[in-house]
Structure 1
């Protein structure tokens, strides 16, 4: 009997040990947020630009990817040593190549047999010879590790990316270079861990491309970039990657990304949804980038090198970013958000104008509006503090003294003076293209018109935002002026037609006008179906012009159901940015992102819940087609992150969030204060997309929104989900989110 007892005890011990071992193994192999990131998602643009598998650290200068047509392409042309401006400008080219030199060697590509992409590490194997290239990054420096597989015919092809400059060998193991990109000189300093056995230029006279030969199987190549000098690049490298330990740099980068992405923890949902979510979150850290180089930075806004211990952030397309990306990071990292805004204010002081698109190369006056105002007013309303007086003065100058016209910088033109006098930017009839009021309109955008409808609508939003900053800046007397200008959007709303509409210089509506098919003659990247919903600062007034909330709701329903009136490929000839179509709704372009949430303002929150879940599930799968339009360095993916968590901001400057329909059972944001805010979706599933009831910190919540201050206090928003809509939850009109010209944002702090 004793033997049986001993045997039984032994068996129980073995079982317990096995269970414990399995639990430990499961714990050690648990997936981190970083494990869900797949930089290939969205890598084949459906209509427009693909995403790129960028290797970089969050908000850092150095950004690298394999230059291919897209992620379906199996050949690498080169690796840029850094991205200077998202999707548009790249500095230098680098490619390991192998083989006997011939006439085509300077154009030889790397054919991919396999590759691995992560935010912190890239690896690819060459199909022809088995060569393996690896890359990892620090903030201003990068590290390539190449295994050529043998010691013969091994080269590094290093050169410029088509601009002025040169590359030169400084010693047996050191190569340097500079390249001028839109007036900005970018420098690099590089070291190899093996001697260069021979060197050859494609053209000895200009020294723009070189072949560095190595008689070694393994070659490591580390480098740093600078916007100041080659010596500064050398110093950057010495600080960041002083040794030759590739794995140490890689593991440090991995740790940084894991910490950053772990600030939001999601539970439930599918693996595919987590891949979409965390890849989207990774994308939102591509911009802005801090170009301070250990105590100094070069500014293209006054062409000077400045001593500073503060970050200097550049590369922000604010037209794209103010909607979701900057609000997301206002939650995640308010201190850094203030540093970004401070950078804009510094650029204003250096250049005399508040930037439009604040690139490293200087201000790029792309797109429409003065949306630095939208961003700053929103940040101020959410408690962020900066030099509001100087910021206000710059924003006011842009609005009253600068040009409103797209793709232009500088003082107001005669057309702008018309806007300031009449309250709308007049449009021209098709036969009137050309020079008008001293401005050559044919050069604005491929010979098209002046986008007057969009400009009037978007500047109305921006002027409302400026009005909110007037009092804290010490200019309370200005507020009535900017509130008046905020109402000018109504001047391009044709109530008879029920659409925003171009108006000529005499105040007449322009006919014929097709609300679906015309391109950028009158609107920016979309049509009137999208721009109908632009005045998010005065939805109360907008709905009144549409005939009341019920008629506005019916119009919004029709947006998602309206046909294109012709085949898609013909529609896209005029509206290439109108991708991710659901009826006339455009999922692939930023001006649409707030639109599904507008049902919350109409007494029909259940329709927001229905639309958001359908749009996310349909247009953001976890594959190479997983982005319906241009991603714009966080402009689109921030919408995904916020919407999958279950909420979204609509009116910049009013510190509240609209509730949608979460993709996960639970999403927790770890706030910088040490507190946490959790969205708990009980009984959530693919079919249970509708909110039945809600509580905030245990108290009943019967409105489809909450405030930023409630989020900052921490706590739990609990949503009971079900398969059929509860059409009464949040439906009372007095429970709608605030949006009107006379709204006081301070009431919601």
Structure 2
């Protein structure tokens, strides 16, 4: 197991974004749009600054292609290949990660130019040394499914759009007898070792350029292939190996590039279609044939826009504050960028054992599951608005676990297991889907989960046999143990519904193991040594007690003590009951925001020792409900909504992490959030929407009604579930599974009787 920080070794510090034109770029793409067109409420620039790690380019909902500009391919804040502080572009590659804490992909860069072709990208400080181009953000247009920019160095307009498996470029050239396109197969996200490309192949087959490469980056041994077609026949094509021309139309090596030369008239356009595949070039070509007929860029762009209107139109929400609406719909957009499709139109896909397999008829395959992050909020949101995809996600995870030498997926990327982060939270995604009634082969899933982490991975043997993980034998021992407890809880649920009583009881017992790290004398979950003694000295803001490794994963004892999502009631009892728990939780938010000097930048968005910029904190503000104090959740959640997100490039407090940072906002803005996704329980917060309807598929609609006298009213005075007044501040997924209505009556003052009775508190560890 590696954390994001350990992979990167060191974090690059992004330059402070001084000033950006507020909405001018978006305005360019919103001319003549319908008044209720959801696309106008999305700003893909959000998260492209700060540490958001988002890309601004073109994709389809959950599409395999993410065609986007690369401004740099090295460093932590360029995990997606783009940062809004840059003023030059290397080119446009076809695969990007959305908001991850580690960089990879950036496959098959295409760049347009004029003059003598240059074979290296050049330095950001001196872009003219290579094929880079200067640009200004004022010429960028970015909207779902479309991106464009003026390449100022060459006076070329670049436009991008996409289908599910094909990226489509359009370049508008000036008059030139030295126009060219360069295709760089050596381009990839770098590591401290330099390039991650270990082998490449390229071939000009008739009028088609095709090839692929294997990379050893975050996804070690990752295969990617392409097939590329051009609307205009080039006058000459040259292939280069190690930046030297090679004879013939085919080459193999590490550093391969192709340059296609053209004569162009003023304002002449050249369209490029690029199919991608993890299988082979034939699969990439089939993807083009199936998804893009001819070279109709505008038609493809319109199809992409229509797909995004359908996707974003699943939720119709109104807001008093336009900023809230922009952040809300951009959050839904970001949630719809992953996991990403990972199969060809013929059903073939690259499995986790690096073999090529064919899907059963009707199935789809996905990848890029940031499970450590997304099990918390994104996947629960998908159970509401993506009912068709949930079984596909579950079936994909089952296949992955069966086909992977590593077992149950942890953080799978393009047919490779990265082993990034702690736990194996595919168990949560699977158990939640089962709880909520989605169809899948859960007996097969349980067998996969048992097999998948039976070996001593991340200290699993100690967790299973001794009830804790020794800090002197395993790094990040406390976090790993607590997260394994949650995975045990998930497996207990699956086993129970399969009638496997003994297995259920065993996993339930293991899920209580978090108690073995509780030290009442200090009031925190604390690292314990193999001899049973506590580590010393102890300071709750520290992340490690020695230099060898950390004891907590991207967190410290303050945050980790409140991460017992498998048993909130047991955690409250552990701390001393409702009143002491509320006092302790208040203290978390009221502590100084001091962190050790070595703390990773993931721990951001600090409110006391609460860290909204990192996912383990995301459920914490909702825990007050489990202690009979929901009004404290309501005020705290509203504060976080208003302070942790902005409608600006530097608008996120931490990495987007393939939808999770956005999912917190999306669900919280609607008024609820899952502390324990496996339970199927949603806890009330403080909605900022003035009303919403969510299309749950098959004619089912979830309606949210919000009554408030003032926009600042953050307290729930009354909550009605399907028309019935409730004395509790929570509800079950089963209450809305066939559609329903949630009604919030808001007030400026707290209702301190709602949800306070012991009978009104959400159940804990209820199967």
Name the TM-score class by shorter chain.
0.7 to 0.9
Q: How does 1:200-219 map to 2 (within 5 A)?
A: 200=238, 201=240, 202-204=243-245, 206=253, 208-216=256-264, 217-219=268-270
Instruction: Identify which of 89, 94, 109 aligns with 2:110.
Output: 94
The 8 Å contact of residues 143 and 221 in structure 1, kept in 2 or not, is answered as: yes
Task: Give me the whole-angstrom Cα distance separating, in 1, the residues matched to 2:694 and 2:535.
Answer: 49
Per-residue deviation, residues 527-554 of structure 1 (Å, max 9, x unmatched): 1111111112212211112111101001
Task: Give me the whole-angstrom Cα distance separating, in 1, the residues matched to 2:551 and 2:508.
Answer: 24
Distance 1:532 1:545, change over 3 A: same
SS at match of 1:214: strand
Aligned to 2:389: 336
Task: Give me the whole-angstrom Cα distance separating, in 2, the residues matched to 1:533 and 1:637.
Answer: 21
Distance 1:49 1:661, change over 3 A: closer
SS at match of 2:613: coil
The structure with the largest alpha-carbon Rg is: 1
SS at match of 2:381: helix
**Is residue 56 of structure 2 the alignment partner of residue 53 of structure 1?**
yes
Per-residue deviation, residues 599-639 of structure 1 (Å, max 9, x unmatched): 11111111111111110111111001111101111121111
Aligned to 1:294: 345
Aligned to 1:190: 228
Distance 1:27 1:129, change over 3 A: closer
Instruction: Identify which of 63, 67, 89 aligns with 1:76.
Output: 89
Task: Give me the whole-angstrom Cα distance separating, in 2, the residues matched to 1:28 and 1:43.
Answer: 24
Task: Give me the whole-angstrom Cα distance separating, in 2, the residues matched to 1:123 and 1:379.
Answer: 39
- Post-superposition shift, 1:28? 7.3
Task: Give me the whole-angstrom Cα distance separating, in 2, the residues matched to 1:404 and 1:485.
Answer: 16
**Is residue 607 of structure 2 the alignment partner of residue 564 of structure 1?**
no
Aligned to 1:543: 572
- Post-superposition shift, 1:196? 1.4
Per-residue deviation, residues 169-221 of structure 1 (Å, max 9, x unmatched): 52574211211123232111111111212334322354612322110232111
Q: How does 1:7-406 map to 2 (within 5 A)?
A: 29-45=34-50, 48-68=51-71, 69-83=82-96, 87-101=103-117, 107-113=130-136, 114-160=139-185, 161=187, 162=195, 163-166=197-200, 168=202, 170=204, 173-181=207-215, 182-200=220-238, 201=240, 202-204=243-245, 206=253, 208-216=256-264, 217-308=268-359, 309=361, 310-351=363-404, 353-399=407-453, 401-405=454-458
TM-score by length of 2: 0.86
Task: Give me the whole-angstrom Cα distance separating, in 1, the residues matched to 2:741 and 2:500.
Answer: 39
The 8 Å contact of residues 279 and 350 in structure 2, kept in 1 or not, is answered as: no
**Is residue 620 of structure 2 the alignment partner of residue 595 of structure 1?**
yes
**Is residue 727 of structure 2 the alignment partner of residue 702 of structure 1?**
yes
- Post-superposition shift, 1:261? 0.5
- Post-superposition shift, 1:698? 2.2
The 8 Å contact of residues 537 and 652 in structure 1, kept in 2 or not, is answered as: no
- Post-superposition shift, 1:101? 4.6
SS at match of 2:555: coil
Report which of the two has the higher share of helix: 1
SS at match of 2:228: strand
- Post-superposition shift, 1:78? 1.9
* Alpha-carbon RMSD: 2.1
SS at match of 1:467: helix
Task: Give me the whole-angstrom Cα distance separating, in 2, the residues matched to 1:197 and 1:575.
Answer: 51
Structure 2 unaligned segments of length 5 or more: list them: 1-30, 72-81, 123-127, 188-194, 247-252
The 8 Å contact of residues 351 and 357 in structure 2, kept in 1 or not, is answered as: no
Q: How does 1:381-530 map to 2 (within 5 A)?
A: 381-399=435-453, 401-405=454-458, 416-428=460-472, 450-519=475-544, 521-530=550-559
- Post-superposition shift, 1:49? 4.7
Per-residue deviation, residues 291-350 of structure 1 (Å, max 9, x unmatched): 221232232323322232211111102111110111111111222111111111112222
Task: Give me the whole-angstrom Cα distance separating, in 2, the residues matched to 1:28 and 1:191.
Answer: 32
Shifted more, 67-76 versus 490-499: the winner is 67-76
Shifted more, 498-507 versus 468-477: the winner is 468-477
Distance 1:339 1:28, change over 3 A: closer
Aligned to 2:12: none
The 8 Å contact of residues 401 and 452 in structure 2, kept in 1 or not, is answered as: no
The 8 Å contact of residues 203 and 209 in structure 1, kept in 2 or not, is answered as: no
SS at match of 1:122: strand
Per-residue deviation, residues 649-686 of structure 1 (Å, max 9, x unmatched): 11122111111111111021111121211121101644
SS at match of 1:66: strand
Task: Give me the whole-angstrom Cα distance separating, in 1, the residues matched to 2:305 and 2:469.
Answer: 50
Aligned to 1:16: none
TM-score by length of 1: 0.88
SS at match of 1:153: strand
Distance 1:169 1:684, change over 3 A: farther
Per-residue deviation, residues 103-125 of structure 1 (Å, max 9, x unmatched): 86772312113110112000001
SS at match of 2:174: coil
